[in-house]
Amino acid sequence: MNFKLKNIPSQKGRVAIITGANNGIGFETTLAMAKYGFKTIMACRNLAKAEKAKAAILEKIQNADLDILQLDLSDFKSVETFAENFKNKYDRLDILINNAGVLIYSGKKNKAGIELQFATNHLGHFLLTNLLLEKMPDNSASRIVALSSLAHKEAEIYFDDLNCEEIEDKGAAYGQSKLANLIFADELNRRLKKRNKKIIALAVHPGGSDSGLFDEMSKIKYYTFKILSPFILHSNASAAKPSLFAALSPEVKGGEYFGPQGFMEFRGKVGVAKRSNYSKREDVAIKLWQLSEEMTSQTFL
């Protein structure tokens, strides 16, 4: 792969949305996209934190073209309102980076009684993406990037127990949600191709970084993680590189999956990532798509 992020020409005139743009990997992705000249929409749940992040970016890039629109991915009404607000303000969308995510161990649910990680990480992005597709130019520079995780490898979609209430593993729900991100990107790309669309959908994982997702760990795990993290993880800026590569490289194709290539895929140069055999199953992808339509009360593609 010869593509270098430092060689990206000005993207002025193009529009990008980044969910979860106010901290961690989302912040670093937003900073980079602003540097490249994108009109960058920061889709964030907490407006105060978003304003603080915007100010921090403007300190580094004075001419950054940023806008904040509120989005709570766990609330489907909020997703619909965000999409409507965006469509009223902008006539195009070139890049959608579905970055936001939550990792919890407490069995929380959204207003509809859906396990919070599945609702936020997958269903909210599923709904958002499909509502915004009509604004994307039909060319290969239009990208939908889904952030999956190494956690997808041990997961499956628990169709008979989506809330993971019968599963002892506290991390199962998170793994399921990140697996769903990867499967959704694959199935979306297949459906776009069937309709002869040139828009590209693909997935990435950021490797290992202290992105703020780990606050609900037990104290022992949390402090162990903090001690080891400098030796096995990379920075949030490095963790943002797979997303930027997927969004901007002319070398990528739809349905691909990228991530770091170093030690245990935690860090290193961006390349084709390893995925589980389960994640490749089209029967699971079709079933997940249909279920997602039912749960969001919307039919797409």
Token pair of 74 as six digits: 């766990």
CB 128 within 8 A of CB 98: yes
Contacts of residue 235, defined as CB under 8 A and 6 or more positions apart, other chains included, come to 28, 209
The kind and range of the H/E element at 47 are helix 47-60
The residues annotated as belonging to the active site are: 174
Residue 241, CA distances (Å) to 28, 170, 233, 269, 275 in order: 9, 29, 14, 9, 19
Please provide the size of the chain in residues.
301
Q: What are phi and psi of 52, to 5 degrees?
A: -65, -45
Query: What are the strands, taking DSSP E only, across the chain?
Result: 15-19, 39-44, 65-70, 95-98, 143-147, 200-204, 257-260, 270-272
Query: What are the strands, taking DSSP E only, across 157-250?
Result: 200-204
* End-to-end C-alpha distance for the chain, whole angstroms: 32
Contacts of residue 145, defined as CB under 8 A and 6 or more positions apart, other chains included, come to 95, 96, 97, 98, 99, 185, 202, 203, 204, 243, 246, 247
Distance between CA 111 and CA 116 in Å, rounded?
A: 9
Distance between CA 90 and CA 43 in Å, rounded?
A: 14
